[in-house]
Amino acid sequence: MRTISELFNLSGRSALITGGSGHLGSTIGLALAECGAKVGLLDKVDTELVDKKFTNINKENYQKIKMDLSDKQEVSRISEVVKDTLGSLDILVNCAAMVGTDEVKGWVDPVESQSEEVWRDALEINLTVPFVITKHLISVLNESSSPSVINIGSIYGVLGPDWSLYSSGDIKGTPAAYAASKGGLMQLTRWLATSLAPTIRVNAIVPGGVERNTPVRFKKEYEKKTPLKRLAKEEDIKGISVFLASDASSYITGQCIMVDGGWSVW
């Protein structure tokens, strides 16, 4: 029987994180790197956030990969890119997404003003791209002795928004396409889990609200609705990420695990 430290050890494994230059993507990448994995942080932009977070990680153990996931031709090369940059793949994290803070006309607007074109764009990035990337990487993942796919969902893919939180306008509500695409991603997680079993495990992390310079009023109202009385910190995602990526969760697949401070249990 392996020790708990052996079960959580990711040394010798490689991971690809889409949206790797973002807040959650880079945090997940850091967590996996801290446990020994070599990580590829894929994004269409290169932010300073990655280098700031990875100051204590050997530069040989992480690599930034530039790719625009809205470009179908680029996405079709994902298997080749992974082999060229990482050599192999044990862990895939589908984190890239259009989110509520993105400033796109017709996105975070009243429903009657939400753009059908932007809706389609969101479903493409948030739902279709994770499917396509996973599909293209199945053969590479099958070469791993313990492959794991982790999708990043959202509480708003499970629950409807409480619009009273957004009544003051200091934070805008979540667009319909975001909720629909994240709900679809969680069902895709379950579908892939049975379809790729017994070789590849597929699970999802479902975060609640994460604190990032959150307006005081919104924070107080959010805390009232959460049993743990706080928003998530970015580090709250680290433990569950390592767990699902590692052999510590080797008998877990098809699960969408809420990391929401208890929001969804009321």
Cα–Cα distance measured from residue 205 to residue 146, given in angstroms and rounded to the nearest whole number: 19
Number of domains in the chain: 1
Q: 210, 100 in Cβ contact below 8 A?
A: no
| Dist. CA 206–CA 41, nearest whole Å | 20
The domain spanning residue 234 has which CATH number?
Answer: 3.40.50.720
Judged by DSSP in three states, 242 sits in helix
Q: Which domain holds residue 228?
A: 4-265
Kindly give the confidence (pLDDT) of every residue in the chain, 266 residues in length, as a single tens digit, with 9 standing for 90 and above. Answer: 999 999 999 999 999 999 999 999 999 999 999 999 999 999 998 878 898 999 999 989 999 999 999 999 999 999 999 999 999 999 999 999 988 666 778 877 878 888 888 989 999 999 999 999 999 999 999 999 999 999 999 999 999 989 899 887 778 888 999 999 999 999 999 999 999 999 999 999 999 999 998 999 999 999 999 999 999 999 999 999 999 999 999 999 999 999 999 999 98
Contact 32, 105 (CB under 8 A): no
